[in-house]
């Protein structure tokens, strides 16, 4: 089955800095890669996703890149703000989702 590795497990940045979270996957048949944000005590919510026929996708301060050959995908957050503080999960799918273990992002004012 699919295996998703996510790094780092924790990430602390200063407000205004960029943050990058990286994931690798094992199943070359996976074709959908969503990222979820989970604030403390809240449910996970989709923030951006990318499909395997696309290499990069942007939405305001958030971007995701995908390297199918290397089976890597990354989340990039620019101009971080304190409200970006949360746990971020990557996932890979060709049907059901397999999640990484999450990255706790802390943005300090």
Partner 1 sequence: GAGVSQSPSNKVTEKGKDVELRCDPISGHTALYWYRQSLGQGLEFLIYFQGNSAPDKSGLPSDRFSAERTGGSVSTLTIQRTQQEDSAVYLCASSFSGLAGNEQFFGPGTRLTVL
For partner 1, the binding residues (CB under 8 A) are: 1, 6, 30-32, 34, 36, 42-46, 49, 51, 89, 91, 93-102
Q: How far is the CB of 93 from partner 1 (least distance, A)?
A: 5
- Contact between 67 and 50 (Cβ < 8 Å): no
Name the residue nearer to partner 1 (CB basis): 49 or 76: 49
Name the residue nearer to partner 1 (CB basis): 51 or 61: 51
């Amino acid at each position: 089955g699919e295996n998703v590795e996510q790094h780092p497990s924790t990430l602390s940045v200063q407000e205004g800095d960029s943050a990058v979270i990286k994931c690798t996957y094992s199943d070359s048949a996976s074709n959908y890669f969503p990222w979820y944000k989970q604030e403390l005590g809240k449910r996970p919510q989709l923030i951006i996703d990318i499909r395997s026929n696309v290499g990069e996708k942007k939405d305001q301060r958030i971007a995701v890149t995908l390297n199918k050959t290397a089976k890597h995908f990354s989340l990039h957050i620019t101009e971080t703000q304190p409200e970006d503080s949360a746990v971020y999960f990557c996932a890979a799918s060709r049907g059901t989702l397999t999640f990484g273990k999450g990255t706790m992002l802390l943005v300090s004012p």
